[in-house]
Structure 1
Amino acid sequence: MGQDTVRLYTRQNDKTLLPLKRQGRIINQRIYVEMHFGDIAPLFLESYDWFTKEAARRVPKPGDVKAPIWCSISAENCLKPIDGTVVYVLEVPKEKVIYFDEAKWDYVLNRIYLPKDEQDAASYREHLKLLGISNGFEFFEGRYKGMYPEEERRIVESWKRVFEIDNWTIFNVCGNIWEIMEAYVQKIVYPGEDLEGLKY
């Protein structure tokens, strides 16, 4: 592993093997997100679109890419290959990786305020209480939808903290990329093969 690259692991549908072979690259399609989430996709797609826009400010996005590819920073925390999938072991230039905290991502997915710390969380709870609101989940969907635009702005602004990593572990840190280039692929792990043995 070179000093200018990082090792990433990502499980993908085995149908991605074809574009890798034919075009020399794999990119994520928005339709995959829709298929993955089914009926609840529209809500999640808003979060993914926000993430895509913010991530592109940090690492420039190729014009034809609509969503990032999610990667683990360790073999240990990568989803294992199951039928219909493979795991790509990648060596990616450092400047191409968008690091973020996956635990914080849940706040974005649930469309709620992402506090800076415990003190900020307590202040925000107090703030909601003063507004007479008990449930911070309902600003984007539900009874408060469209009623508190300034609160919506505050929540969306807070999501940028997803890119601030306070506690760096293999379990909460992800490293997303815009594309898998053939040159990045060090190994392809198929179902039944040992991924753990790939720890470096």
Structure 2
Amino acid sequence: MLHNFKASDEKIKLWTRQHKNLLIELEEKGVYRARQEYILLKNDTISNYYFKLYDWYVKQAERIVPRPEGVTYPIWLSTSSDAMLQPAEDTIILELEVERKHVVITNFDKWGYVVNYWYVPLDKQDEKRHNEELRKYGIGDESALYMSHKGNFYPLLRNKIIKSWERIFEVSDEASILTQATLWEIKKEWIVNIPYK
């Protein structure tokens, strides 16, 4: 169940660390969009691992905030300055103010389960039941249900795991350190500060 979208003109603050070349693109085009080559540069040999995740994420997120024509991948942001990625070589930090209707908020901890191709439990009891089910079937590596042919032998279990990933969109406190955000693009006018340049 996806219920993340708030059609509101209310603005929220977000922070993102990006390569410094983003400023050139923003100056030239007035808008920045993530592209496959940027993800390849950033993630190198593990890029395909992330592309699979992003393909799933894009299908879900565009049901919450429609994806503009020509956009392929999301841009990741922090919802709290305390949780933002710190500056690194050749990067900048952008502080943005964006209308809430453009933002998809997710649970940071639950996203960690998705990144590992694990089941996102409802609670500790649900997690315990799920782990018992894995043991019953002799499955030691839960991610193999998605990443390998093993999922063909346990399609119901594989589908249960994938369906559970939608829980990342269930957020009670959007400004919490336990949340993160995505945008489909960054517009020049949304930038209110560049604290680290």
State the TM-score, normalized to the length of structure 2: 0.88
CA distances 1:99-146 after superposition (whole Å, capped 9, x unpaired): 001111111111111111111111111222232323322212357243
The within-5 A match list for 1:35-46 is 35-46=41-52
Q: Unaligned regions of 5+ residues in structure 1, if any? A: 192-200
Give matches, 1:61-80, under 5 Å: 61-80=67-86
1:128 paired residue number:
134
Over 4 Å off, 4+ runs: 166-169
Structure 1 equivalent of residue 145 of structure 2: 139
1:20-72: per-residue Cα shift (whole Å, max 9, x none)?
A: 00110011112222222222221221111111110110001112111111111
Corresponding position of 1:151: 157
Residue of structure 2 aligned with 1:91, choices 92, 97, 107: 97
d(CA) in 2 for partners of 1:178, 1:45 = 16
How many pairs align? 190
Question: Alpha-carbon deviation of 1:154?
Answer: 1.1
CA RMSD of aligned residues (A): 2.0
Match of 1:171 in 2: 177
8 Å CA contact 1:81, 1:189 repeated in 2: no
Amino acid at match of 2:29: Q
Aligned to 1:24: 30
**Aligned sequence identity (%):** 31
Q: CA deviation at 1:166?
A: 5.0
Rounded to whole Å, the distance in 2 between the matches of 1:104 and 1:161 is: 7
2: CA distance, partners of 1:58 / 1:166: 16
Please state whether the residue corresponding to 1:65 is helix, strand or coil.
coil
Q: Which runs of 5+ in 2 are unaligned?
A: 1-8
Change (3 A) 1:8 1:157: same
Assess, with a 3 A threshold, how the Cα gap between structure 1 residues 169 and 180 changes in structure 2: closer, same or farther.
Answer: closer
Amino acid at match of 1:83: E
